[in-house]
């Protein structure tokens, strides 16, 4: 797996994003930060789209998005073809988002999670493989829906 991670947050996730950047760098990842760069309010759709576009285009294979709850960022990211963004709240959802959903974008709530738990979730999410098998068939069903409902952009 390419060890490059795209990361971004709005103001609600800024503090956690900064902490996760440190954690990821310590673990040897190249981290590409798509903003925001402070606590001033920004619109999460604009920021989330930057990482979602990187993943959707194939330029970067894994991304992490953080907003206050994680809800807005996950809604945005899942608009982009090929992006499987998983809003996770604990170690179990982080692990299963990889095993069963091959999630390529982890979404976290900066106002929901403590930094220690979030770091552990990121570690588990990065280390857990996709299980393939019947789960692959289900992802293909989603891909087929993208092509049917967004024929110009689906791939
Ligand atoms: C910002 O106040 C907040 O709405 C945002 O971070 C996020 O939680 C939206 O879903």
What are 92-103's pLDDT values in tens digits? Answer: 999 999 999 999
* 8 close to 32: Cβ distance less than 8 angstroms: no
Per-residue model confidence as pLDDT tens digits over 11-32:
999 999 999 999 999 999 999 9
pLDDT at 155: 46
Nearest CA, atom 3, ligand 1: 68
* 73 close to 12: Cβ distance less than 8 angstroms: no
For the chain, the average pLDDT equals: 96
d(CA 121, CA 11): 21
Q: CB within 6 Å of ligand 1 — which residues? A: 10, 12, 44, 67-69, 71-72
Backbone torsions φ then ψ of 64, nearest 5 degrees: -130, 130
Per-residue model confidence as pLDDT tens digits over 58-82:
999 999 999 999 999 999 999 999 9
| C-alpha of residue 10 to centroid of ligand 1, in Å | 8
Atom number, ligand 1, closest to the C-alpha of residue 11? 6
Per-residue model confidence as pLDDT tens digits over 78-136:
999 999 999 999 999 999 999 999 999 999 999 999 999 999 999 999 999 999 999 99
pLDDT tier, 152 (very low <50, low <70, confident <90, very high otherwise): low
> For 4-149, CATH number?
3.40.1400.10
Show me where the domains of the chain are located: 4-149
């Amino acid at each position: 797996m390419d060890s490059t991670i795209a990361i971004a947050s709005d103001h609600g996730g800024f503090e956690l994003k900064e902490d996760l950047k440190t954690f990821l760098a310590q673990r040897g990842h190249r981290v590409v930060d798509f903003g925001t760069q402070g606590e001033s309010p920004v619109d999460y759709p604009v920021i989330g789209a930057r990482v979602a576009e990187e993943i959707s285009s194939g330029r970067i294979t894994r991304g992490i998005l953080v907003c206050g709850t994680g809800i807005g960022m996950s809604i945005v990211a899942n608009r982009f073809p090929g992006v499987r963004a998983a809003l996770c709240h604990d170690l179990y959802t982080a692990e299963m988002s990889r095993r069963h959903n091959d999630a390529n974008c982890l979404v976290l709530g900066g106002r929901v999670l403590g930094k220690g738990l979030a770091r552990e979730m990121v570690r588990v999410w990065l280390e857990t493989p996709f299980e393939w098998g019947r789960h692959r068939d289900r992802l293909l069903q989603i891909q087929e829906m993208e092509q049917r409902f967004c024929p110009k952009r689906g791939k």
